[in-house]
Amino acid sequence: MGRWEPNARGRLVEAALELYSSRGYDQTTVAEIAKRAGLSERTFFRHFTDKREVLFGGASEFQEQLVRALDNAPVALPAIDVVAVALEAIAGGFSERHEFARRRQTIIAENAELSERERIKLASLASALADALRRRKVSEPAATLAAEMGIAVFRVAFERWIRETNQPDLPHILRGSFEELKTVTAGK
C-alpha cells in the first residue's frame, strides 16, 4: 500500500469500527487501528483528536444540517414545534444508514467512555439548537428547555428506530414521540 492511498480518514473509521466490534473498544489500541488502515499511529491523531472521536466524525455535519433546518422553519410556529419540524426534516436522511447506525450504536452502548462522548455530542447539539432558537427571539429558559426536550425526544426515537429490524421511518417515530412528550408534560 503506497503512502498516498486515498481516503485515509475513511479507512481509519472503517478499521476502528471493525476492531472495536470484534475485540472491543478497550482491547483495541490506536496502533492497531492505524496499522490496519495502512497508516501510522501518529497519523491517526492528525485525523482525530482522540481514540473515541473516530466514531463521531459525522456529528458536526449533522449539527450544521439541523441548525440550517431550524433556521428555515416557518416563523409562526412555537419553539417546541420548530424543533420538531427541524428534527423530522433531517431524520429522513437516516433511512439509508440504518445498518451503519446500528453497528455503531452497538459499539457505543457497550462502552462507558464512548457513551460519554455520545452524550456530550448530543449536549452540544442541544446547545446549538438553543442558540438558534434565541436567534429567533425565543427567550430563556424556553429556548434551552425546548432544545433539551427536542434532543431527549430524538434519543428516545432514535433508540427505538435502531431496535426495529424492519426499518420503520425515523421521521414517523419522531412525530409519535413528540406527541408522547406533550401528553407526558401535560401531566396525564
Q: Which of residues 93-132 bind a copy of itself (CB under 8 A)?
A: 112, 115-117, 119-120, 123
Q: Which three cell numbers stand for residue 87?
A: 428534527
For 41-61, the DSSP string reads: HHHHHHH-SSTTGGG-TTHHH
Which residue of 62, 142, 168, 169 would you call a contact of a copy of itself, by CB under 8 A? 142
CB–CB of 134/140 below 8 Å?
A: yes
Backbone angles phi, psi at 74, to 5 degrees: -55, 145
128 grid coordinates: 446549538
Q: Which does 165 bind (CB under 5 to 8 A by kind): a copy of itself, DNA, none?
A: none
- Nearest approach, Cβ of 109 to a copy of itself (angstroms)? 12
In angstroms, the Cα distances linking 100 to 18, 43, 97, 147, 182 are 12, 24, 5, 26, 31
Per-residue binder mask for DNA (CB under 7 A), 26-45, x = binder: --xxxx--x---xxxxxx-x
**CA 115 to the chain's CA centroid:** 12
Q: Which of 14, 32, 81, 110 binds a copy of itself (CB under 8 A)?
A: 81
CB 15 within 8 A of CB 30: no
CB of 15 to DNA, least distance (A): 13
134 binds a copy of itself (CB under 8 A): no
| Nearest-approach distance from CB 177 to a copy of itself, in angstroms | 6
Under the criterion CB under 7 A, does residue 4 sit at the interface with DNA? yes
Binding site for DNA (CB under 7 A): 2-4, 8, 28-31, 34, 38-43, 45-47, 49-52
